Amino acid sequence: MFSSGSSEVNEESDPSHVGSADDFIGLPTDPLAEHPILDLAEFQLLEDQMDNPLIARTFAGDFAKLWGSRYEILAAAVERGDAAAALDAILSLRTSSTMVGGVRLSLLASRLEEHIRNGDLRDAHPLLKAIDECGHATVRELKDSYVLRND
């Protein structure tokens, strides 16, 4: 499998670097792939702000437990063209995913929010699948990390 991940060489300061392999063969790169699914440093900020790691972990546990229903509410609102409900759902998703360190999910939510605010609900459908997959991956990484490992 071909990967466009970063190398150990600082490509910007290397004068012999002419671009990534993806650039060379003309393949589009996915800027989301540059962002982690889960950034535990972001979650640690929540722990620090709460002054009690247990409160933050409870929030993350609730995020994981509610993922399926939260996504279904969002998808249903988009499907029926209910912009107000879709906006409410995506704002909740964006905020909570940011709080638990779900960087990539938060970015996807921001993209969908932009579509909703622009009245492009029909164009938002392709993002739903990406949000669903990323949401499941975020929950999986939370469960695999110290945050929810013992839950």
Spell out the domain ranges in the chain: 36-144
pLDDT in tens, 73-115: 999 999 999 999 999 999 999 999 999 999 999 999 999 999 9
In the chain, pLDDT over 70 holds for what percent of residues? Answer: 79
pLDDT over 60 (residue 4): no
Are 46 and 100 in contact by the 8 Å Cβ rule? The answer is: yes
Domain 36-144, what fold?
A: Four Helix Bundle (Hemerythrin (Met), subunit A) (1.20.120)
* pLDDT at 36 (0 to 100): 96
**Three-state SS at 146:** coil
Could you give the angle at the alpha carbon of 134 between the alpha carbons of 63 and 60, nearest 5°?
Answer: 20
User: Which of 69, 144, 141, 83 minimizes the C-alpha distance to 116?
Assistant: 83
pTM (two decimals) = 0.78
State the Cα–Cα distance between residues 131 and 75, nearest whole angstrom: 10
Could you give the angle at the alpha carbon of 150 between the alpha carbons of 147 and 151, nearest 5°?
Answer: 85
**Three-state SS at 140:** helix
* pLDDT at 33 (0 to 100): 81
pLDDT over 60 (residue 143): yes
pLDDT over 50 (residue 30): yes
Average pLDDT over residues 29-57: 90
